[in-house]
Amino acid sequence: MVNRTLFMFITTVLKLLTNVVLLLILARNLGPDTFGLFIYPYTLSSLIILIVDYGFNLQVVRNIAIDNNRFHDIITQTLFAKILLTVFVLINTFIFTIIFIISINKSGEII
């Protein structure tokens, strides 16, 4: 148990450090304008993943552990909920992006 927890901690820390190092390298090499163009969709996709995940993975494991006979129903309901959240978030992101682009085109600057 302790070995698994330690391994999971080390893996998480390495993943976070790798992301920080890569983003620093990209920021330094791309410059502010190009890095901004890169980081905007990266941030949006990270937020979308965070919203769509919504803790479902932990809930699914718990529900299956409680009632293994309902495995198919639990997976089906979870996937359906994730698909609905994905569609909702993508539509809102699309609308926000269009409004953002229109506001840039009208004034020439970001509002």
Whole-number Å distance between alpha carbons of 12 and 14: 5
First to last CA, the chain: 52
In order of 49, 99, 103, the CA distances from 110 in angstroms are 25, 11, 7
Location of structure tokens 């089906």: 76
pLDDT in tens, 31-73: 888 888 888 888 888 888 887 887 888 888 888 889 889 989 9
User: What pLDDT was estimated at residue 67?
Assistant: 87
Model pTM above 0.85:
no
